[in-house]
Amino acid sequence: MKRVPVLLSAGLILLTMSCARPAGSGKVSNHPRVDSLMKVMTLEEKVGQMVLFTSDWTVTGPSMREGYIEDIRAGRCGNIFNAYTADYTRDLQRMAVEETRLGIPLLFGYDVIHGFRTIFPINLGMSCTWDPDAIGHSAEIAAREAAAAGLHWTYSPMCDVSVEPRWGRISEGSGEDPYLGSLIAAAMTRGYQGEDLADPATLLACVKHYAAYGAPQAGRDYNTVDMSERWLREFYLPPYKAAVDAGALSVMASFNELDGVPATANEHLLQDILRGEWGFRGFVVTDYTGIPEMIKHGYAEDLRDAARLAVKAGIDMDMVGPSYFEHLVELVRSGEVPMKTVDRAVRRILEVKAALGLFDDPYLYCDPEREVSETLTEDNKAAARTIASESMVLLKNDGILPLRKGERIAVIGALADSKDDLLGSWRGAGEVKSVPASIYDAIREYNGPARTSYAEGCKEFGEDRSGFARALATALPADKVVLVIGEDCQWSGEAASRTDIHVPGVQTELLERLKSMGKKVAVVLLNGRPLDLSKESDLADAILEAWYPGTMGGYAVSDVLFGEYNPAGRLSVTFPRNLGQVPIYHYAKNTGRPHEDPEAKYESRYLDVVNEPLYAFGYGLSYTSFEYSPVSLSAEEFSGDGFISAFVTVTNTGDREGTETVQMYVRDLVGSVTRPVKQLKGFRKVTLAPGESKEIEFKIDAQTLSFYRKDMSWGPETGDFKVFIGGSSDNTDEAAFRYEI
Ligand code: NOJ
């Protein structure tokens, strides 16, 4: 790494007098420089450290403050987001370090969500790998690329559990399960932050959107959230906590209200739980204009009131605001906000800057050489291609996949030749020009141009059928059709909710037309939410859910279609049969009238559709097949701190190597509060050669059986349980056991 000589301003001389004490990742120590700074900072300078403005390089929200450069120079803005490149961040950093009285370095943030320059699949897609280590590795690569471009801080991991396919931001999370989501949140945090935050190949993680942002009413972004404290703690909070436990040193408050109080001023969330119970020691930032939005929520009278409520609730940094910028000094002078509240917030922010190594070398992260050498490397692209293949879920296959090299293949569809859509939303600094191949390009390259043809057919939205004729003519001589359809990539992500979760436009009609010609059609889907695929699942001969697979996504799709990679992705979110079933998820309760008798009327059921989803959580096919032995137990009861083991033997019964995700769920049959019918408690990925068998063991102990009991204490209860093991939440074998406290 190249170290750049630092020009010392008067302020920096003051800062460098005491020697550095590196803090490990996830740790803040009382850094001596922070102590010395806190003694000399004016109130205005302190408030400056609590302000975060966006640069105009990228704008990720509805408003921005003009003149942020002057604010930096005046020491009134200590943090910037949406500015990157080593050169630009160095310029801004120089202003802060050399032109302000104390020379406190800026903190640079950015939305590095699923990659920075090398773009990985969208997070919902990556969660379908059920491979936290691989996802953590993607975060590590993203951090290396972003940190070389001058960035210190990413607004990730997004830890919002969601069962809401209407909500466009379901694409940014890890699906519907708190256990899987927690493992991924922790792995991403470790991936970003590494062993030592001061390592210039790492980024500070930011746990967002705290809390329960994934449960907006009616799936409309930013909408009201309301739920019981029990459900909040049991279902929504675990991934945020897992990221905090993994060492994340910043948290972003969410836009939504919870229990009538916006998260931005929610003392219960920010103080009782985050700091009180979880022991969080980093700083809390708002989400964009979260503070002024409290006026529209009907919670604050005006901007001044909103600033007061936020700072008192525990918001340390105001993103975009400009509530703290305009009102905090005066709020302290009037005595409405205690000085110690500001001191605490500033100290938290400065301690994180110290942990990042910025007081030792403010330019540590802006390195034009590393920016080139670390970015879009062959290794990074190879990792992106592998995880993209791993993220894809084969939903249906009547045997037309894998394709055979040399078949006449017509590649058709609105998204077949799009490089842009492969990147998805929140694509960091990823550029279309870095995408080497669309899906069509990659198939043609593999299969040969003479045997591969292409037609767009129609757009991904709208009613225009004028391309149908050409598409049908292109399909006519082909042995098989690959139809690439789905949602435009900007239809998911922030502010992208839908009330209709069908494949949009006339794309399904094109599928119908192709099928009525008698063609064998493999549908490849690019989308960022569970869709209603009831029509497509009837019509298509095969369906591959490819999500938005990133920079190398074209090749990854081709790898899976031709069987160069045997698909192994498993759904991390349930696909409903129609929107009326929503919310539908595997973690459901039994109810007092579960639907057991097909003839019965007074049961929990619909008149027009079955209760079961189209594709269940945990589901996904392979080009081989797996068989499970019955579940066996090491004992049928255990107690106290003991444990039992549940075993299955999994056999690859097909003729090619494949990877199975063996899933374990438990049910507590009678509890002081009701428990879900199937709660994911463990899984293992196992790769088996044809004919090979492996015994898989899951340990079950008191922790496995613990939950928030009636009195909200955490622990197990004496009683009867079931364990379920299988290859999907709806395809398991079970065994019964008893536990005594
Ligand atoms: C608003 C989004 O909700 C959040 O996820 C993002 O990190 C910020 N804007 C900053 O761009």
pLDDT, residue 11, reads 36
DSSP label of 615: B
In the block, residue with structure tokens 């019918």? 677
DSSP label of 495: T
State the pLDDT confidence band at 576, using cuts at 50, 70 and 90. Answer: very high
Q: Which domain does 732 fall in, by range?
A: 626-740
Please tell me the distance between residue 317's alpha carbon and the centre of ligand 1 in angstroms: 14
DSSP string covering 331-388, please? HHHTTSS-HHHHHHHHHHHHHHHHHTTTTT-TTTTB-HHHHHHTSS-HHHHHHHHHHH
Atom number in ligand 1 closest to CA 60: 11
Does residue 318 belong to any structural domain of this protein?
Answer: no
CATH number at residue 514: 3.40.50.1700
Atom number in ligand 1 closest to CA 156: 7
Same domain, 447 and 560: yes
pLDDT, residue 65, reads 80
Does residue 117 belong to any structural domain of this protein?
Answer: no
Peptide bond preceding 211 in cis form (omega within 30 of 0): yes
Same domain, 550 and 408: yes
Quick: pLDDT tens for 528-572.
999 999 999 999 999 999 999 999 999 999 999 999 999 999 999
Average pLDDT for 423-447: 98
Q: Are 139 and 187 in contact (CB under 8 A)?
A: yes
Does residue 53 belong to any structural domain of this protein?
Answer: no
Lowest mean pLDDT among 4-18, 83-97, 464-478: 4-18
Does residue 217 belong to any structural domain of this protein?
Answer: no
- Mapping DSSP onto H, E and C, the string for 205-257 reads CEEEEECCCCCCHHHCCCCCECCCHHHHHHHHCHHHHHHHHCCCCEEEECCCE
Of 557, 581, 605, the position where a domain reaches its end is 581
Does residue 276 belong to any structural domain of this protein?
Answer: no
Same domain, 577 and 682: no
Query: Which one, of 724, 697, 457, 475, lies nearest residue 587 by Cα?
Result: 724
**Beta 283-285 vs 250-253: how paired, if at all?**
parallel
Quick: pLDDT tens for 153-185.
999 999 999 999 999 999 999 999 999 999 999
Same domain, 552 and 411: yes
**Virtual CA dihedral for 171, 204, 207, 710, nearest 10 degrees?**
140
Query: What total of structural domains would you count in the chain?
Result: 2
Angle between helices 507-516 and 468-475 (to 10 degrees): 40
Ligand 1 lining (C-beta closer than 6 Å): 60-61, 111, 155, 208, 287-288, 494
Does residue 282 belong to any structural domain of this protein?
Answer: no
Does residue 237 belong to any structural domain of this protein?
Answer: no
Please tell me the distance between residue 256's alpha carbon and the centre of ligand 1 in angstroms: 13
Average pLDDT for 473-501: 98
Same domain, 449 and 559: yes
Same domain, 525 and 632: no
Choice from 58, 170, 494, 497 to test ligand 1 binding pocket (greatest atom count within 8 A of CB):
494
Indicate which residue's Cα is closest to atom 2 of ligand 1: 287
Query: What pTM value is reported for the model?
Result: 0.96
Please tell me the distance between residue 286's alpha carbon and the centre of ligand 1 in angstroms: 9
Own/partner contacts of 18-22, CB < 8 Å, gap of 24 or more, are: 20/354, 20/357, 20/359, 20/360, 21/354, 22/196, 22/198, 22/355, 22/357
State the pLDDT confidence band at 16, using cuts at 50, 70 and 90. Answer: very low
Same domain, 577 and 640: no
Same domain, 546 and 671: no
How far is the C-alpha of 630 from the C-alpha of 223, rounded, in Å?
45
Q: For 513, what's the count of Cα atoms within 13 Å in the CB-facing half-sphere?
A: 21
Quick: pLDDT tens for 670-724.
999 999 999 999 999 999 999 999 999 999 999 999 999 999 999 999 999 999 9
CATH number at residue 662: 2.60.40.10
Same domain, 462 and 524: yes
Peptide bond preceding 31 in cis form (omega within 30 of 0): no
Indicate which residue's Cα is closest to atom 3 of ligand 1: 287
Q: Are 729 and 616 in contact (CB under 8 A)?
A: yes
Please tell me the distance between residue 428's alpha carbon and the centre of ligand 1 in angstroms: 12
Same domain, 576 and 681: no
Same domain, 519 and 638: no
Indicate which residue's Cα is closest to atom 7 of ligand 1: 155
Same domain, 496 and 566: yes
User: Which residues are catalytic, by number?
Assistant: 287
Atom number in ligand 1 closest to CA 209: 5
Atom number in ligand 1 closest to CA 254: 3
Please tell me the distance between residue 287's alpha carbon and the centre of ligand 1 in angstroms: 6
Please tell me the distance between residue 158's alpha carbon and the centre of ligand 1 in angstroms: 10
Does residue 6 belong to any structural domain of this protein?
Answer: no
How far is the C-alpha of 158 from the C-alpha of 675, rounded, in Å?
26
Quick: pLDDT tens for 395-423.
999 999 999 999 999 999 999 999 999 99
Own/partner contacts of 31-35, CB < 8 Å, gap of 24 or more, are: 31/350, 31/351, 31/354, 31/355, 31/359, 33/350, 33/354, 33/359, 34/347, 34/350, 34/351, 34/354
